Chain A
């Protein structure tokens, strides 16, 4: 696997035979994933959606990491569970998943992105090893999920790098601007400003949502919670209204 990973990222295009080998590995991972999903459905009565990472993204990740991480890449095969549960319910599902796959070749690994959010992204990931290879299970509350999807979509439109803390992009490269007039450059500058403001607002929203979720889980009887919920509803409404048709 390690040698294959290195060969796949040598040169501009991977060799056809190596690509075919990678596809065989992905088909095998897909079969393992199906078996794992069936266990989650049958034994935990949950309804995950699953996917095997696409080839282009695997190659991008291999290139970033020097090609040696193919065997250990945790999210080649993954499933996502989203539900109407709060953080306590999320903890229960995580514990159930860890118990269900406790018989794997390695102990399940829990990555709590509520404690260590990644640029606003919060969820709990459970990496399980039912047949030797890792399967990443994302467990998200409705609020965490809705925010994550919104931010991913925003990233599609203003630059994928915002997921890693990078600033949004204008969508144009300097060569394309060529001899653009001062007026055109000003429009582009304003568009970038708008994108920065939208991203900042979305990140602030993540903190609000997290605070409400934490309150609901740790102090559900707190009379302040209703006021917090009203505030977050107002923040979400303001965000919706501020969204421009063209970012």
Chain B
């Protein structure tokens, strides 16, 4: 996996740079990758968009979060099914 070139990060705490490839029709994540910088994740995103060109059901997203755990909370739709999201409701 390409972790990208080293960049000076503006963050004071570690962050997760993730590339998610999500199948909307199936409601499931089909690929998840981690990168060392936003730049590397974005470039991987462009490559994935090219790879899945013509597949409108595929959503490709590069997320930056405090951690994967944080991304699961703020963007749970990519990680959880409908029932699990309903269970999460308070």
Query: For chains A and B in complex, what number of residue pairs have CB atoms within 8 angstroms?
Result: 112
Those of A113-165 within 8 Å (CB) of chain B: 142-143, 145-147, 149-150, 152-154, 156-157, 160
By beta carbon, the residue of chain B nearest A148 is B77
CB distance from B80 to the nearest CB of A (A): 8
Q: Which of A30, A48, A52, A153 contacts B82 (CB 8 A)?
A: A153
Q: B87's contact among A30, A37, A143, A240, by CB below 8 Å, is which?
A: A240
Tell me how many residues of A have a C-beta within 8 Å of chain B. Answer: 43
Interface residue A110 (Cβ < 8 Å from any Cβ of B): no
> B49, A49: Cβ atoms under 8 Å?
no
- Are the C-beta atoms of B77 and A149 separated by less than 8 Å? yes
Does the CB pair A55–B49 fall under 8 Å?
yes
Residue contact A49 to B65, C-beta cutoff 8 Å: yes
**Chain A residues positioned under 8 Å from B85 (CB to CB):** 146, 149-150, 153
A42 contacts the other chain (CB 8 A) = yes
Taking CB atoms, residues of chain B closer than 8 Å to A56 are 49, 56, 59-60
Interface centre among A37, A47, A49 (most CB of B within 10 A): A49
Q: Is A38 an interface residue (CB 8 A)?
A: yes
User: Is there contact, CB below 8 Å, between B11 and A156?
Assistant: no
A window 29-85: CB within 8 A of B: 30-31, 33-35, 37-38, 41-42, 47-52, 54-57, 80, 82
Q: Which residues of B contact A54 (CB under 8 A)?
A: 45, 49, 59-61
B3 part of interface (Cβ distance < 8 Å): no
Q: Are B70 and A49 in contact (CB under 8 A)?
A: yes
> Considering the chains assembled together, what is the distance between the CA atoms of A91 and B25 in angstroms?
36
Q: A23-B46, A42-B12 are in contact. List 17 more A-B contacts (CB 8 A).
A: A30-B39, A41-B11, A51-B63, A51-B64, A52-B42, A54-B59, A54-B61, A57-B59, A82-B74, A146-B88, A153-B77, A153-B81, A154-B82, A171-B25, A236-B86, A243-B86, A247-B82
User: Taking beta carbons and an 8 Å cutoff, which residues of B are in contact with A?
Assistant: 9-13, 24-25, 27, 38-39, 42-43, 45-46, 49, 56, 59-66, 70-71, 73-77, 80-83, 85-90
Cβ contacts A to B, 30 pairs, < 8 Å: A33-B64, A34-B11, A37-B10, A37-B11, A47-B66, A48-B74, A49-B63, A49-B71, A50-B65, A51-B62, A55-B46, A56-B56, A57-B59, A146-B85, A146-B89, A149-B75, A149-B85, A150-B82, A150-B86, A152-B77, A153-B81, A154-B82, A156-B27, A157-B82, A236-B86, A239-B86, A240-B86, A240-B89, A243-B82, A243-B86
